[in-house]
Structure 1
Amino acid sequence: MKATVFLIFFTILTQVRGQYYQGLMNYLESRMLAMEERISLWHEQNNRYNSDLKEFRQLAADLLEKLAKEHNKLRLDMEGAGSRVDRVEREMDYIETKNPPRSCVKAADKMVEQDVVVRERKKEEFFEISVCVNIMSSIRAMKILKRLGSPKGVWTKDARSAKVYIFNSTSDNTLYEFSSVRELSASSGVSNGRQITLPSAWNGTGHAVFGGFLYYISESSEIQVIKYDLKNGSIADSTVFPTENNSPVYSLNPETLVDLMADEDGLWALYPAGDTINVAKMDSNSLDIEQMWDTACPRNNAEAAFIVCGTVYVVYNTKPPSRSRVQCVFDVNDMVSSGEAPLVYFPRRYGTHSSLKYNPEERQLYAWDDGYQIIYKLALKKKLWATMPPPEE
């Protein structure tokens, strides 16, 4: 009886185990089929992606080729446009020379309407300040000497000697002296010049060399004008310049707070006063301020200025560098009429002027423009009143 029960139990166990293994095999087989289907789908998608990638590469190559052709065409169009712009600028220069628009000028009453007494009084006032009767009429020529140093700086020449002085950058205590313009032109860098170390750092681009002395601006707690003897290598004098604030005199050159310059009549200083530019006549020996004027020339968009025979010429530009132009003229003697005031456009250059220094002996400007040293030769004429016949007694 026991043997029969054991045999029945063994038979049942064998059947159950066989069913379990068969179910496991069926499950594994279904999973393998699913994996094969996914692998087949992956191969199909990979082939499709490869085909799409080839098409994309071909399309990109075609587009790049087309883009290169368009770029070449655009470059040719730009070159053509540049030549047309140059031609238009030359025509504008010609038209401006023939028909100059009225510039911003502070003048006295119309000179044509002035009577003999007023004219004589103006002449007497003029000779109290200046004996020079010239006014700028145009720029005769431009010469680019070389590119030397930082984008901003000053180069100037003492009117009483052949020596040239380089102020590289807008703040340092070292300047460089060259014996002549020719030596500077032949040099390979500022380090070839004679190094002059100043007792204090100069700031901005408003420095002047006049009569063997360097006049420069030094800024600490106050704005100081320092007179430095270039021959003896010592400070000859100094003074605190009476400005109300530390605003720049030119909005496009924010490093320059006071601009010193020299002309036929001596030493001058341009400085800010609110939204306009003021001018002061200084005694080059004692640094005393002799007289001050409000030019009414705006500081906004001004980049530099220069003085010729007591007449201030303020040069303007735009923040994206364009063509510099003299747009505001002020005569300290009120002897320049609005009809005389020139609106002069500078020849096309590289950026904006960081400095313009007038040499009265040579009648030319020494300009620093984006690291380039440029010379502008000026054409001068007599002021209108100087050509008038003397009054009848």
Structure 2
Amino acid sequence: MPASDHTTAAFDRCVAVARAMAWADQEDVDVGHLLLAAMCTDDRFARSRLTLRALGVHHFMTDEAEAMFKAGVAGIDATPRTMTRTMEAAAVFDRIAYWAGRTGDDTADTVHLLLACIEEGAKDDDFAGVIDMFGISHRDVVREAMTVRFHISPADRQSRHRGPILSAARPDRPSAYLFENVQSMFRGPRKMSSIRHRSQHPSAAEVGSPARLYLFRIHVWWHVVLAMAAVAQLTAVVVATFTATLWAAVWLVGSTTRFMVPTWGRLLVACGLTAVAPFLGVPWWPVIGNLLIFVLITIEGRFALLEVKADVADPGVRLRDLRRDARLNNSAAGWYGELKLKGNLATE
């Protein structure tokens, strides 16, 4: 576990609550206790809580989880300050420093505890199922953790930013903290589309260099060009379907997004459609448009991959990782829609 002077007060409180829950269960401190403490912390401005709300996870929280956390809070004073922990929980603490460095922080806070628990929990089938059910990956958490960095409370603030807000000397003042839009931070995503696409598009909130800024601008314009090309291709397919042959309607599958099918799959479809076009009597313009769409989507995917790599501070991210995240997001979006339809969607 990191030294006490390298952890925030909110982090220490989460560990104390996890210890109290384990004491009440007459068990060693485990990953489940730590994860629950990081997810259900009662500090409204704790970084882990703001991060999860930005991802919409609060919509899926159960009353049972909240009750367990509150019971742990109530039992803090009666809990020994030192307790044994499982090997998995020890591994969580060993990874805290790594995740703090990954997000560019010098002090471990609640979001780093959350990330370490997600990483360790992914090795256990039961925990992995729960985490996947929320539709989040550690990449999603890292990105949002960096975005909400300036919304955190004093209890979860980095040590280098703990000076007085109105310090007499300007160099002693901490970095700016944005509190003017408090309500939007607690609202979280309210649309299925926001949850479905959250991991696929880079964020502009943490642009740290001119190169990233230019890349982001190019990516935006590329989306505009792609949208125009998609409309033109759809028009060409419709016209060819009604004027040449009904087989031209098959060319609609050529614009499959990168979220669904890998590059080799889309290339196989594009080449196959091009090869059979002369035999089906399909005009040349849907064929050319199909190849153009393939090229545009492929390049757009590379732009997104470069930006997401920068967002999550991980050069090892691959397109298949983004597709896996997309599957998780789609699952969470479906669950969100189901809960909203039944009126069981949690808002607090």
When Rg is computed on C-alpha atoms for both structures, the one with the higher figure is 1
**Structure 1 and Structure 2 fold alike (TM over 0.5):** no
User: Which of 1 and 2 has higher RCO (CA within 8 Å, sep 6+)?
Assistant: 2
TM bucket (normalised to shorter chain) is under 0.3
Give the structure-1-normalised TM-score.
0.20
TM-score, with structure 2 as normaliser: 0.21
Higher strand share: 1
